[in-house]
Structure 1
C-alpha cells in the first residue's frame, strides 16, 4: 500500500472512531431523555439501535486489525491504532449502558425519588465523553487530565444520589399506599441507573487514558 494511502487510512480511522462516539453519545442522551419523560417509543429506539453500535464496533475492529496486519505500524502509528481499538471497546460498552437506560425507562416510575437528579448526573457523563473524544481527536493531553479529574466529581454525585435513595427508603416517607414489591423494583432500577452512569464515567476515563498514551506514550492514567 502506498504511503499516502496508508496515511489516509489512519485519518479515516480517527474520523470513524469519532463518528462512532457521536452515535454513542446520541444514544446515551436519548436514554436519559426517555428516563426523564417516560417516552417508551424513544426507549425502544435506544434498545433496538444496539445492533447498529455492535456492527460499527466490528467494522472498526477490522480497520484496526487490517492496519496492523498489513502495514505493521511502529511507534506513534501503532500507539494510535492500539488506542483506537481500546477506545471503540469502551464506546461499545457505553452504548450497552445506554441500552440499559432504555430498558429502565420502559418500566421505571420516575417520580419515586424526585430529589435524585439523574439528568444532572447524565449531563456530566455526556460532557466527560465529549471531552475524552476531543482529547483523542485533537491530541489534547490537558483534556485527558481534565476528564480524569472530573470523574471524582461524578463519583461523588453518584454516591450522594445513592445515599439519598437509601436514606429516604429508610425514612419510609415515599412509600405511601404503593404496593411494596412494585416500589422496591423502582428503587432497584434507580440504583442501577446511578451505577450505570458511574460506569459510563469510568469508560470515559479509559478513553482519556488511552488518548494520553497515544499522544505521549504515557500510561499514567491507565493504571
Structure 2
C-alpha cells in the first residue's frame, strides 16, 4: 500500500508540473504571436509589453525547474518515469528560449518603428517563415500535451523547410543591402527577426523530439529518425 500511495502521489505531482508546462507553452505561443504582430504593425507599446511579458515566462522556468528537482528527490522516479521528468525539464528550457527569441523580434519591431522609414517590406519578407514556425510550435505543444509520437515525428521535416526558408531570406536581404546601402539598417533588423523565427522552429522541433523520447525511449537528436513501424517492416 505505501508503494501504491507513493506512485499515486507521483502521478499527481507530475500531472501538476505538466499542466504548468502547458500553461508556459501557451504563454510563449501568445508572446510569439504578439511579437510578430508588433513587427507587422510597428506598435511600440505592444513591443514593450512583449518584452515585459518575458519576465513571467522566466519566473515559470525557475519555478518548474525547482518543482522537477524536488520531484526527483522526493519520489526518486526510475526508468520511464525519470525519462519523462528529464524530457519535461528540457521542454521547459526550450520554451524559455522561445520567449527570449520573441523578445528579440519585439525589439527589432521597436527599432524599425523608431526609424519611421522602411525601404523594404520587412514583414512580407518573413511572413511565410513566421507562419510555418507558428504552426510548428503549436503542433509541437499539441503533441507534447497528448504525448503523440506520430504527430511529433511528422514535425521534424517541417523544421527543415523553415531552415531552407531562412537561407532564402538571408540571400535576398544580402542582395538588397549590396544593391542599395539605404536598406542596410532595415534589412539587418529583418534578418535578426528571420533568425529568431528560425531558432523558434529549432526549439519547437526539440520539443517534438522529446515527445518521441518519452513515448519510445529513443533519443533521436542529431540522427535520422525512422518510426518503429518502419523499422519492423
The equivalent of 1:148 in structure 2 is: 156
The equivalent of 1:112 in structure 2 is: 119
The offset of 1:117, in angstroms, is 2.9
The offset of 1:4, in angstroms, is 2.1
CA distance in 2, matches of 1:105, 1:165: 17
CA contact (8 A) 2:176 2:187 kept: no
SS in 2 for 1:220: coil
Unaligned runs of 5+ in 1: none
CA distance in 2, matches of 1:24, 1:132: 13
SS in 2 for 1:23: helix
CA contact (8 A) 1:206 1:222 kept: no
CA distance in 2, matches of 1:62, 1:122: 32
Cα distance change of structure 1 residues 47 and 86 upon mapping to structure 2, 3 Å threshold: same
Aligned residues: 215
**Which of 132, 136, 148 is the matching residue for 1:124?**
132
CA distance in 1, matches of 2:125, 2:188: 16
CA distance in 1, matches of 2:203, 2:34: 18
CA distance in 1, matches of 2:186, 2:121: 12
The equivalent of 2:167 in structure 1 is: 159
SS in 1 for 2:112: coil
Deviations 1:44-75 (A, max 9, x none): 00011111110000111011101101100012
CA contact (8 A) 2:133 2:200 kept: yes
The offset of 1:91, in angstroms, is 0.4
SS in 2 for 1:205: helix
Q: What is the RMSD of the two structures over their aligned residues, measured on CA atoms?
A: 1.7
The equivalent of 2:202 in structure 1 is: 202
CA contact (8 A) 1:209 1:222 kept: no
Unaligned runs of 5+ in 2: 224-233
CA distance in 1, matches of 2:8, 2:178: 65
The offset of 1:222, in angstroms, is 5.1
Say yes or no: does 1:16 pair with 2:20.
Answer: yes
Say yes or no: does 1:212 pair with 2:219.
Answer: no
CA distance in 2, matches of 1:194, 1:132: 20
CA contact (8 A) 2:105 2:192 kept: no
TM-score, normalised relative to structure 2: 0.87
CA contact (8 A) 1:147 1:208 kept: yes
CA distance in 1, matches of 2:177, 2:109: 21
